[in-house]
Structure 1
Amino acid sequence: MKLLVKDYLNVRVGAPNVNAPSYQYLAPGSEIEVDGRLYDGGEFENIATWYRDAANNYYWSGGFANTKPIIPREFDPAKMSWGHERYNLPFIWSKLKTMGEGITVAVIDTGIDILHQDLATKLHRLSKSFVSDAKDIKDIDGHGTNMAGIIGASGRNKVFGVAPGVELLILRASEHQRGANVKLFAKALDHAAGIDAVDIISVSTTLPDDPDLKTAVDKCHANGKTVVAAIGNNRDINLPMGPDVDTFPACYEKVLAVGAFDLSGHLVSYSNWNRQLDFLAPGASVLTAALNDGRNQENGTSMATAFTAGCLALMFAYAKGKTTRDKCIEAILSTCDDIGPTLGPDIRTGRGLLNLRNAITKL
């Protein structure tokens, strides 16, 4: 496996650690051959995975450019979800000539499986944890790994994300999916707002209204970040559904609020609804990365949110130099497939089902 060096990188002899002997370095643009496996080792800038070459030299994985995943010639059901088939994502990748390269998605969640073969090489160096008793971004719950996989899993091992070329800024704001601390999510959003590289912020949780959370979301918008958030699952918090029940940050102005539909194109029973709902995306039995270098099928508006973040990444990457991100969002909102009881947006399904192919034709 060949890798391209993006920053000056020390060659470590005999051990995957920054304290191992180093007698040379590689300059940006250098290409090296490694065995393709990831090795757990010393942590540097929140990344603790390393590559090894045939001479037993080790290279910190954060020092390499994102290598572009191979676009599969045929649809591979073993590595792709039904959402890939619905939108014919391999064709879209080929047509747009991008898989999301140059786009960074911040994933605010429970962290990530740092050794997952489809995720470990995609981590932004500024990834960090906001959980007080945890210094690293290692996921012990699985939810954050699920989200990262749907957005940008590389497909090199077990699963493809929607945008396999993106870089992932992992912001660990909770140890577990349930019982999230709104203040920690506010801090993570504020952090993401201040990082120039961040394009999209994905928040697959529901929180109470909070002034710090609102301020952080406003800062994200002011700094040109697109925030996409889950409308929530009524089963998660026994929340009554209806036009006057809001969930946050999804229901803040300028946040894309996403519900879920299934492979038959129907609203799933657990997807919350209210006046702020924008549209529905694939959120039932979605194949994604899981803990212990695994993969699972997962359900929920969380999955729909991550799927939407991946779609936005593809559109933003394609739109560079052609049109604005606001036009991309407008294209998504204006091309949804209306499935409501009356013509136009409604409180149960928003504008309808996300239609990525039609949205792209509007750019």
Structure 2
Amino acid sequence: MIPKRFMMFAILLLIFSLPTLAFAQPAKQTSFAPDQLIVKFKESASIQTKANIHQQNDAKVLKRNEKLGFEVIQFKGKSVSEMMNKYKKLPQVEYVEPNYIAHALAAPNDPYYPQQWGLQKIGGPFTGTENSVKLAVIDTGVLADHPDLSGKVIQGWDFVDDDSVSQDGNGHGTAMAGIAAANINNGIGVAGTTNTAQILAIRVLNDSGSGTFADIASGISYAADQGAKVINLSLGGSTSSIALETAVNYAWSKGAVLVAAAGSSASTTPSYPAYYTNVIAVACTDQNDNKCSFSSYGNWIDVGAPGVNIITTYLGGAYQTLSGVSMSTAFVSGAAAYLASQGKTNTQIRYAIEDQCPVPVPGQSFGRLRIICP
């Protein structure tokens, strides 16, 4: 007899609707790299003096431009403005400034991009070294031959049928993959949250969207062993499980960031695995940065993200507009993959997502996803 905590459970709420025709303008993106500064010392400052100053401020040098004479430093525990003020006061410093981020002035040429209000709301898409980070989508599988996921999908393991082809017969996993990592600027469909993620497709839910905690736990440990830096879990159940929590802690110890949907109970009732300490619990927010009516909430939630009328990849090479905390989770996973591509650890990624500069959500203890601070 399989224990009750391992019995089948349904994935989180999916609400299907037709694609919206409301067009939004691309979000303005002016920002700087978090926890970094560009510092130029005066020529009279010795190498030892510079090193001492950085050490006193718990800063380390990431890069040096010998020709222009500046350094890029990284620090933690202080805001960019606080650290700028410290360096500005030093007589040895010629100038100090934020490490501003430039963006392509043209919006992505993906035709559905104008409808992607959620992606624009969080400041995406976020681009870097393409396919440099494994993002495990532990779900119903992923349609690897979807045109907008071409070259993005690694076939992992199918824990439902016990084979090596984690194909999607439901659509949910393909939708999550598209939100997180659909191809950007390929002239078709939608733009993903980041181009840095390569999807590791792991099937633990059947074509009805249900699966066992045992399979999910196995999927998590498998993802960690395959080197996934981010694990997307747009699923949940109402009962805690030792096996599931053990798998979560194992993946975290291997350096993975785990992102899970908080639930659609419209209450503070915990959902698992989102409730576990080593998981980023994600709630749903709407176009006005309010909590979605159906979303779970409470002090255990770590962050919110857009989850209403989100257009994404679907079965048959098509696109579908969906609503639910599952969609919100995929946005956070995509952002986490982008941060991982910058060399951040799972602890640093959690800080950047949960604490660095989230947008306040009225009446809630959590904020809406924002990883590039104003």
Is this a same-fold pair by TM over 0.5?
A: yes
Q: Greater Rg, structure 1 or structure 2? A: 2
Alignment of 1:211-290 (within 5 A): 211-234=242-265, 241-242=267-268, 245-290=269-314
Identify the structure with bigger relative contact order (alpha carbons < 8 Å, sequence gap 6+): 2
Deviation at 1:276, TM superposition (A): 1.4
Q: Supply the AA of the counterpart residue of 1:146.
A: A
Tell me the SS of whatever aligns to 1:292.
helix
Cα offset, 1:327, TM superposition: 2.2
Amino acid aligned to 1:189: I
The equivalent residue for 1:87 is 122
- Do the aligned partners of 1:130 and 1:188 also contact (CA within 8 Å) in 2? yes
> Secondary structure in 1 aligned to 2:220?
helix
Could you tell me which residue of structure 1 aligns to residue 201 of structure 2?
170
Q: Aligned residue for 1:137?
A: 166
Offset, 1:333: 1.4
CA shift digits 1:231-286 (9 cap, x unpaired): 0112xxxxx723xx211000001200000011122111111123311111011111
Write the letter of the residue equivalent to 1:328: I
**Cα distance in 1 for residues equivalent to 2:325 and 2:121:** 18
Matches within 5 A, 1:117-156: 117-125=147-155, 127-132=156-161, 136-155=165-184, 156=186
Q: CA deviation at 1:100?
A: 5.3
CA contact (8 A) 1:113 1:120 kept: no
Specify the code of the residue in structure 2 equivalent to 1:171: I
CA distance in 1, matches of 2:204, 2:335: 24
For residues 123 and 267 of structure 2, what CA distance do their matches in structure 1 show?
33
CA distance, structure 1, for counterparts of residue 340 and residue 213 of structure 2:
29
CA contact (8 A) 2:140 2:209 kept: no
Among 329, 332, 348, the alignment partner of 2:353 is 332
Instruction: Assess if the C-alpha contact under 8 Å between 1:105 and 1:202 holds in 2.
Output: yes
Aligned-pair CA distance for 1:316: 1.7
The 5 A counterparts of 1:1-363 are: 73-76=106-109, 78-80=111-113, 81-90=116-125, 92-93=126-127, 98=128, 101-125=131-155, 127-132=156-161, 136-155=165-184, 156=186, 157-176=188-207, 178-196=209-227, 198-207=228-237, 208-234=239-265, 241-242=267-268, 245-317=269-341, 319-320=342-343, 324-334=345-355, 335-341=357-363, 349-358=364-373
Deviations 1:131-181 (A, max 9, x none): 137652111110000001111011423121101232110000011364321
Change in 2 beyond 3 A, CA 1:267/1:289: same
The AA in structure 1 aligned to 2:300 is Q
For the aligned residue pairs, the C-alpha RMSD in angstroms reads 2.1
Q: Where in structure 1 do 4 or more consecutive aligned residues deviate above 4 Å?
A: none
User: Residues 103 and 199 of structure 1 are in contact (CA less than 8 Å); yes or no, is this contact kept in structure 2?
Assistant: yes
* Aligned partner of residue 232 in structure 1, secondary structure: coil
Q: Which amino acid aligns with 1:241?
A: S
Cα 1:221–1:314, aligned 2, differ >3 Å: closer, same or farther?
Answer: same
Give the CA deviation at 1:182: 1.2
Residue 142 of structure 2 contacts residue 173 of structure 2 at CA under 8 Å; is this kept in 1?
A: yes
Paired AA for residue 107 in structure 2: E
Q: Distance in 2 between matches of 1:199 and 1:295?
A: 27
One-letter identity of the residue aligned with 2:335:
C
Q: For 1:184 and 1:328, locate their aligned partners in 2 and report how far apart those are by CA, in whole Å.
A: 27
Residue 299 to residue 187, structure 1, CA distance change in 2 (3 Å):
same
Moved more, 210-219 or 156-165: 156-165
Asked if the contact 1:260–1:301 (Cα under 8 Å) also holds between the matched residues in 2, the reply is yes
Cα deviation digits, residues 327-353 of structure 1 (max 9, x gap): 232122121122233xxxxxxx33211
Unaligned runs of 5+ in 1: 1-70, 235-239, 342-348
Look up the SS of the partner of 1:187 in the other structure: helix
